[in-house]
């Protein structure tokens, strides 16, 4: 293995922070685009909810893919941990939003844990795809 690829193999908390910020930026950016180009044409609220779910999935996958491409060496843990922390950040915002009712209940914590696991799995697929494109993982 070359020195360039092995140089980035140690855990880096900086890439966790970059991942969290990247995921949150993707969610906000894709949400703004959806509000301009998709939601005005949505027939029902259910269509909007489905679009929002798709935005979340695409945001985590594409965000992790980008991290896999731009990060030095092999980064597979940092984007997954970043996704879990991004979900935690999103749920903490909803906790302080009165109309959301707060999530700090047993069912809310379960929802947060489920969302964190799902975001982690989606980002793991995304970062693997990015690392594979860069040749940092075995075929």
Q: What is the pLDDT of residue 104?
A: 54
Q: What is the pLDDT of residue 2?
A: 42
Alpha-helical runs (H) found in the chain:
3-7, 13-37, 45-70, 77-95, 106-134
- Interval 9-62: pLDDT, tens: 789 999 999 999 999 999 899 989 988 988 888 888 888 888 888 999 999 999
**Residue holding tokens 């945001």?**
59
Contact 57, 120 (CB under 8 A): no
- Interval 71-126: pLDDT, tens: 888 888 999 999 999 998 888 777 676 655 555 555 667 778 888 999 999 999 99
Judged against a pLDDT cut of 70, whether residue 8 lies above it is answered with no
Query: How far from the centroid of its chain's Cα atoms is residue 59's Cα?
Result: 6
Query: CA 127, 129, 132, 134: dihedral to nearest 10 degrees?
Result: -70
What angle (nearest 5°) sits at the alpha carbon of residue 136, between those of residues 114 and 126? Answer: 25
pLDDT-based confidence at residue 4 (cuts at 50, 70, 90)? very low
The Cα-based distances of 49 to 1, 9, 34, 54, 55 in angstroms read: 46, 39, 11, 9, 10
Alpha-helical runs (H) found in 1-42:
3-7, 13-37
The whole-model pTM stands at: 0.81
> Which carries the bigger pLDDT value, residue 100 or residue 4?
100
């Amino acid at each position: 293995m070359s020195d360039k690829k092995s140089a980035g193999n140690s855990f880096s908390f900086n890439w966790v922070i970059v991942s969290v910020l990247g995921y949150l930026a993707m969610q906000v950016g894709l949400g703004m685009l959806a509000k301009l180009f998709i939601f005005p044409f949505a027939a029902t609220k259910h269509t909007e909810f489905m679009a929002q779910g798709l935005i979340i999935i695409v945001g985590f996958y594409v965000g992790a893919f980008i991290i896999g491409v731009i990060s030095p060496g092999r980064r597979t843990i940092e984007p997954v941990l970043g996704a879990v922390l991004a979900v935690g950040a999103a749920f903490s915002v909803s906790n302080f939003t009165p109309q959301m009712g707060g999530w700090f209940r047993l069912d809310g914590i379960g929802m947060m844990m489920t969302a964190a696991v799902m975001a982690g799995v989606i980002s793991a697929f995304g970062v693997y795809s990015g690392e594979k494109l860069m040749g940092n993982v075995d075929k």
